[in-house]
Amino acid sequence: MKKIFILVPETAVPSGVTGPRYLFTTANRFLKASGKAPLFEVTLVGQKKEVRIEDGTYSVSTQSLLHESGQADLVIIPPLFGDMTTSVHLNSGTLPWIVEQYRNGAEVASLCAGTFLLASTGLLQGKKCSTHWAYYNEFKENFADVEIVDGGVITEQNGIYSSGGAHSFWNLLLYILEKYTDRDISILASKYFAIDIDRESQAAFMMFRGQKDHNDEVRQAREYIEQNYQEKITIDQLAKKVAVSRRSLERRFKQATDNTVIEYLQRVKIEAAKRSFESTRKNITEVMYDVGYSDTKAFRNVFKKITGLTPVEYRNKYQ
């Protein structure tokens, strides 16, 4: 049997607790129906017997307290809800337990914003992870020694898994299920739960939000880009406007925003294009010109690089 402990932290998102339990207990039914023995023993574990989650809206009865849980094969950390600093503080008592489980051989999987709790253990130091795209900036500010995989749905490194935003965690659960069983069981589960089994990116759902706390030169350059993205803007032009050398601007801009000047300009243009596709009836060419592109191929390539979809696919999906 594979022992799976689902940690029930204070402020957890309910679906992040019930979803994994539902998946692995249902997988036991699939295995039994195919003539195989059930493989998963799923236990809800917490700091206390009754845990209030999602700002106290729901209550979850745990089956085991941390100190009496024993050793798991897999520990699942659900997404946290609300203010991340407060949530991590409320669950600080779980951190030594997570570390001990991992050091004694358990794999650890964080779902969505559960990465804040996982990163707080120190186990992600020097490693890569995925998390909800909306929390990228906050995560980077709190855990500078952890590398976020931009747009990633699933990340795995040294027995530590993490997933992208919201329902992306189902893709991680299917990935782990296939690893523990086989492809057929994973496909069956994906059909049963109506999940796109091989989705690799959350890029199509991401909204670009540049970091706002910068020195004057970077702030001025960023604001100029955001206000004039329809125009043809060069780095030399920006450097002249903020009265610094091109090399200095490029270096400071990258440090402050995690994007080069060109990358930032592209992201602002594509974010504007996305909003246009979502809210207007304009065709591809009209939107392309509106955001400052005149080359259809270049627009298509940049759009797909950032969103994972072509302009046509994105318009059809969200219009």
Q: What is the DSSP code string of 250-270?
A: HHHHHHHHSS-HHHHHHHHHH
Kindly state the greatest CA–CA separation across the chain.
73
DSSP codes, 269-287: HHHHHHHHHHH----HHHH
pLDDT of residue 208: 60
pLDDT of residue 63: 97
Find the length of the chain: 319
Please report how the helices 246-257 and 216-227 are oriented relative to each other, as an axis angle in degrees rounded to 10. 90
pLDDT of residue 7: 97
User: What's the CA angle centered on 284, arms 278 and 285, to 5 degrees?
Assistant: 140
The helix or strand, by DSSP H or E, that contains position 307, with its residue range, turns out to be: helix 296-307
pLDDT of residue 126: 93
CB atoms closer than 10 angstroms to residue 92? 11
The span from the CA of 296 to the CA of 310, in Å, is 11
User: What's the CA angle centered on 93, arms 90 and 99, to 5 degrees?
Assistant: 125
> Across the chain, how many H-helices and E-strands are there?
14, 11
213: exposed, middle or buried (Cβ count in 10 Å: 0-12, 13-18, 19+): exposed
pLDDT of residue 202: 47
Average pLDDT for runs of 10 along the chain of length 319: 96 94 96 94 96 86 96 96 94 97 96 95 93 87 89 83 82 90 87 71 53 70 88 91 91 85 91 85 92 93 88 82
CB 32 within 8 Å of CB 44? no
CB atoms closer than 10 angstroms to residue 7? 29
The span from the CA of 232 to the CA of 255, in Å, is 24
The span from the CA of 115 to the CA of 287, in Å, is 37
Q: Which of 235, 225, 236 is nearest to 270 (CA)?
A: 225
pLDDT of residue 215: 64
pLDDT of residue 166: 65
The span from the CA of 118 to the CA of 78, in Å, is 10
Query: Long-range contacts of range 49-54, CB-CB < 8 Å, 24 or more positions apart?
Result: 51/8, 51/9, 51/10, 51/12, 52/10, 53/8, 53/9, 53/10, 53/11, 53/12, 53/13, 53/14, 53/17, 53/81, 54/11, 54/12, 54/13, 54/14, 54/81, 54/82
pTM of the model: 0.68
